[in-house]
Structure 1
Amino acid sequence: MKAHLACARMEFRVALAYRTSYLSTFVMMLLQIYLLTVVWSAFYDGREEVDGIGLGTMTAYATLATLQYNLVSPWRSSPIDQRVREGKVAVDLLRPIGFPGQMLAGQFGWISASVPVLVVALPFALLVGAGRAPESPAAAFAYPLALLGALVVNQLLGLLLGMVSFWTLEVSGALLAYRFVAQFFSGALVPLWFMPDPVRAAAELLPFQATAHTPAAVYLGQIEGPGIAAALGVQLWWIVALGGLATLVWSRARHRVLSQGG
């Protein structure tokens, strides 16, 4: 645990070292919240509800989903491909903890640096968007669990994408495609309840919906009662499945390192 915390601290400091780039991400986040609020207000066109969802709920969803997506998603490309290309992964393999654990700890450290800035940005996000209290005590209790589940699922997805570089050496193209697919199917742009049935069915079969839609829907009461436990169970299933897949991929990828090193 001490070694993992050391990795997290290193990435925490790296994140703070690039403050200009880091803060520009928050400016884009606020712009996205504003534009989504404008688009959804125009979509409702004075109507109180669309498919049983009020405008207040929709704008609150857009604000919350954008905030949490920027929190749980890695804001930089995976460092794995760069470390593989430059041969630094050889040093990582000599450390007393496994390589996947180092990368995950580093990502959590990077994300933790965003928390203070998110707290500062929150009033501005609520000003350009909308906010509301949790729908119920059950939602208030379950939301932190759902948010934690979203964080872990997203980091495991990022780890898997990064480890592709052991075969390709470069993942920038795949990363661009991944970000588009992940943001759409996660419900960060359009909630799943507004998607056409075939698209929604596809989204529910993918892990991305566990990273944005699930925590926001729990918070706003769109998932309630037994549905909350089921949603958290789906997140847990994806954590186990993705963790197992990451273990399998790493067992293959480490041999690629030995091959590259001669």
Structure 2
Amino acid sequence: MPSAVRRYRCMMAIQARTSLVYRANYLMNVVAVIFQVYLLRILWTAVYQGRPEVAGVSLGMMITYATFANVQTWVTSPWEFSLIPPRVREGQIAGDLTRPMSFTTQIHARQVGRALATAPFVVATLPLAVLVGGGRAPASLAAALGYVLSMVLAYLVSAMLSVLVGMIAFWTMETTGIFVIYRVVFMFFSGAIVPLWFMPDGLRLVAEALPFQAVTYVPLAIYLGHAATADVPRLLALQALWVVLLWLGGRLLWSRAMHRVVIQGG
């Protein structure tokens, strides 16, 4: 077990150092997040048109939601959504398969390393985003604790989705178009663009049946107190269930993907 932990930590450290080589990308992401938050503040202020509430949601709550949703999405759904396609396309998977760790474990470790490299920039960005957009404290101490736990589960759901969707690379080398479509679907049904509380009943039911809302909407609904305290355990259990189901789906798909491995390059 200690040896397995050391290998996992080494893989995390390798990816963190690799990610930090491209610091300019992180700085551009900071600018992009701040700009998006500013535009969303203008948009939602115009939508409310001076009304104190819309569908029982105040403008302050909506702006807080939009601000935190953008920062969360940077961590849980980066633009380089999956680390699998480049490793398959460039033949690096040949070395991955020889390591004393399963391929999916390596990818998860790399994802954690990338998230750890991103974390300092996110911490520095959040106060700026709140200043430019808006923010409020959690609804209660219980909501704050629930939010932290929910964010951990949200990250795990996103990580499992990344592996599951990334394995498409074993069937098609060009995944750019597929990932663009996936990102549009994810951003909408996760509630990153429009919260689920503003969706029509039919569309909201579809969103609630998909795992995406467990990444963005659920943590923020808990943070803002929009989810009743009695509903928080159910929402956390739902996130945990999605983690397990997506993990099992990833294991099943990997058992099929191994038969599709083609080593590229010389």
User: What TM bracket, shorter-length normalisation?
Assistant: over 0.9
Residue 2 of structure 1 deviates from its aligned partner by 1.2
Q: How many residues of Structure 1 are paired with residues of Structure 2 in the alignment?
A: 261
> In the alignment, is residue 200 of structure 1 matched against residue 204 of structure 2?
yes
Q: Distance in 2 between matches of 1:147 and 1:208?
A: 13
Work out the CA distance in 1 between the residues paired with 2:154 and 2:97. 28
1:219 to 220, 223, 235: 223
Match of 2:181 in 1: 177
User: Are positions 1:87 and 2:81 aligned together?
Assistant: no
In 2, Cα distance between equivalents of 1:131 and 1:77? 27
User: Quick check: 1:160 aligned with 2:164?
Assistant: yes
Q: 1:119 to 1:258 in 2, by over 3 A?
A: closer
Are 1:45 and 2:53 counterparts? no
Give the unaligned 5+ runs of structure 1: none
Amino acid at match of 1:36: L
Aligned structure 1 segments of 4 or more residues deviating by more than 3 angstroms:
258-261
Q: CA deviation at 1:77?
A: 4.1
Matched, 1:59 2:63: yes
Q: What is the TM-score of this pair, normalised by structure 1?
A: 0.96
Q: Which residue, 119, 122, 131 being the options, matches 2:123?
A: 119
SS at match of 2:42: helix
Provide the rounded CA distance (Å) in 2 between the counterparts of 1:75 and 1:4. 24
**Correspondence for 1:110:** 114
Equivalent pair of 1:34/1:129 in contact (CA under 8 Å): yes
Contact 1:77 1:172 in 2 (8 A): no
Q: 2:144 aligns with which of 140, 158, 166?
A: 140
Change (3 A) 1:140 1:77: closer
Q: Which residue type is aligned with residue 159 of structure 2?
A: Q
Answer yes or no: is 1:5 the counterpart of 2:1. Answer: no
Q: Is the Cα contact below 8 Å between 1:192 and 1:213 reproduced in 2?
A: yes
Q: Give the counterpart letter for 2:15 in structure 1.
A: E
Q: Does structure 1 retain, via aligned residues, the 8 Å contact 2:146–2:222?
A: yes
Deviation, structure 1 residue 141: 1.2
**One-letter code aligned to 2:172:** T
- TM-fit CA distance, 1:87: 1.6
Contact 1:15 1:22 in 2 (8 A): no
Deviation at 1:260? 8.3
**Partner of 2:39 in structure 1?**
35
Cα distance per residue 1:87-128 (max 9 Å; x no partner): 211110000110001011101110111111112112210111
Q: TM-score, normalised by structure 2?
A: 0.95
State the 1:79 CA deviation: 2.6
Root mean square deviation of aligned Cα: 1.5
Following the alignment from structure 2 to structure 1, what is the Cα–Cα distance between the partners of residues 263 and 27? 40
Deviation of 1:140 after TM superposition, in Å, equals: 1.2
Aligned residue identity for 1:25: N
Deviation at 1:150, TM superposition (A): 0.6
Contact kept, 8 Å, 2:91 with 2:264, in 1: the verdict is no
Q: Distance between the aligned counterparts of 1:189 and 1:259, measured in 2? A: 39
**Which runs of 5 or more residues in structure 2 are unaligned?**
none
Given that 1:74 and 1:107 are in contact with CA atoms closer than 8 Å, whether structure 2 keeps it comes out as no
Identify if the C-alpha distance between structure 1 residues 245 and 151 changes in structure 2 by more than 3 Å, giving closer, same or farther: same
- The separation in 1 between residues aligned to 2:208 and 2:64, in whole angstroms, is 22
Q: Deviations over 1:203-245 (max 9, x none)?
A: 0000000000000110000112221001001101100100000
Amino acid of the structure 1 residue aligned with 2:148: P
